[in-house]
Structure 1
């Protein structure tokens, strides 16, 4: 029996309509993959047109933290430091290098005019804050956060709890925090679209709700990398590690979450205080808790980094490359020194000096 011509025509119409819708969706949302399809050095993570529009309408930022006491060997006065071009303050030089890389570098900078925030404690001198502002950074002066029972394991960590002020910056939808002692070799804009940075529903497990802690937010977002605890790690690294490193993470600011952290900080013994904010965040976002942290794509950042990680496709590397620590990878140290020289040349040319 012959099929009804109207039925055949309707089927053809529906097929063509479905194909057109599918093609439209692919062109709108999937022009290029979010993550690199290969991990060779020099491959860029592309951000699609739709993602660029999202970055323009949803405020995001890169951020770092700078404290005056982070360098115990600094000169007594700011004038003495200025006289030697701040050679005594590696963290300040590193912050300037990071600002240049993210804001101005042709090979590793943002392609989307993303803000770079520098959270400064009040004791960072006005001259240094003004220099960073001239470099293009947005300066945010923050109050310190103290607790009688939490003491820094190392003197330069004394103000690290102030990094938690990031969670109060609710004008931003997402912030990617990067320690100043980080070498960036490729664009990081795509980190804001990493699957781990999707908003998560807070879990309701009653066994993990503590009566002496403030209420948890209904939703949260906190994504990071594991701490590898040494240079002898594979790349890609193992995916089942549970202890996060606070040198690179992505967050959604939340006053409810900040208040929760402060309540935890006020409970002596609730977490190991030796690594201060890192151990507080590891407790708050423990894998078995109600707000487990999510692992970012391994290539965004590597701690305890080596040349192997760079050649494998890593995009940023955490180490104090300016100091004389012989354990630092010589190739990465050389790349950081090149980036610093590039930064200094850029600003000499721009400032006309």
Structure 2
């Protein structure tokens, strides 16, 4: 088959032009500064500038001194379930090779000031960032359990405005898969606050212009399907993602000044359920069901859930035996990890 001479000439011309451009770029004095590139992609391995400084996110939990039902005695640290649970959670999120963070996300522990110094020092040694907070109280708020007396202090989380997103996790949690991806869940996008006048009351503080609260509905028992019902309205505040906001914190404080605004049996949970009710101006958004399950069973674990909410350190016979065994293994792994680290440091 004969080849058109013009086609051959055109190919040669294009080749020579390409070679000339390549040679010019490589030998140009612009090569070292790369100023000929668009400014968005200069230096930093061509990473866009908006990725160079990613949003500041954190994991967080809460620890109070009063965590034992009708108990005023000083028990050993290693027998304090919530303290041990906090340590296991710190290990899982910060150090575990299988479920720990891959993004160097810090783990914050909000402690009321009466938490023993030995506990606070141990958590710092474990790698957690301990933040001392003042308690929050209201005369009309009487929790359904004495060990929930100080849980309103969790609302201090909304004062941590140096963070753009925080995942709060109760200390009684088992993590079996990484959680970093929760910060990219579509439910954690900033929402515009509604303006329905029927949902705005004179005895409540100003609403923020925007907000974000993403969580799961409470399953209220072990007999639930997996995936769970997505239409649940009552949020469980053992696992939620939010954006700190001073305006929103002050709004919560205004609710504490209005007796009867919510049922105080579950103080912080019912306050959040009122403030972020699904038919209100700041409705909570549902996270992907697999991030966390309350009232968990082996079925949820086999279904692929990432974390499970239950006090696996106690003797409650209703707890799933498989998940309890996994938590105990995690505790042993945590203790072995820190023991080995101490021996290496000698």
Match of 1:33 in 2: none
How many residue pairs end up in the alignment?
298
**Maintained 8 Å contact 1:119/1:141:** yes
Find the residue that maps to 2:120 and give its secondary structure. helix
Q: Can you give the 5+ residue segments of structure 2 that lack an aligned partner in the other structure?
A: 1-45
Runs (4+) of structure 1 moved beyond 3 Å?
53-56, 72-77
Find the residue that maps to 1:274 and give its secondary structure. coil
Match of 1:62 in 2: 59
**Maintained 8 Å contact 1:74/1:89:** no
**Maintained 8 Å contact 1:299/1:313:** yes
CA-based RMSD: 1.7
Q: Deviations over 1:112-162 (max 9, x none)?
A: 000000000111111110100000000000000000000110011110000
Find the residue that maps to 2:252 and give its secondary structure. helix
Q: Distance in 2 between matches of 1:168 and 1:247?
A: 19
User: Offset of 1:88 from its aligned partner?
Assistant: 2.3
Q: Distance in 1 between matches of 2:232 and 2:193?
A: 21
Is 1:329 the counterpart of 2:320 in the alignment? yes
Match of 1:198 in 2: 189
Looking at CA atoms only, which structure, 1 or 2, has the larger radius of gyration?
2
Match of 1:254 in 2: 245
Q: Distance in 1 between matches of 2:262 and 2:194?
A: 21
**Maintained 8 Å contact 1:203/1:290:** yes
Counterpart pick for 2:229 among 208, 215, 238: 238
* Paired residues for 1:51-200 under 5 Å: 54=51, 57-72=54-69, 76-77=73-74, 81=76, 86-200=77-191
User: Offset of 1:205 from its aligned partner?
Assistant: 0.5
* TM-score, normalised relative to structure 2: 0.84
Q: Deviations over 1:248-298 (max 9, x none)?
A: 000000000000000011100011111100000000000110000000000
**Maintained 8 Å contact 1:75/1:88:** no
Q: Distance in 2 between matches of 1:331 and 1:212?
A: 48
**CA distance 1:54–1:93, change in 2 (3 Å):** farther
* Paired residues for 1:288-299 under 5 Å: 288-299=279-290
Find the residue that maps to 1:102 and give its secondary structure. helix
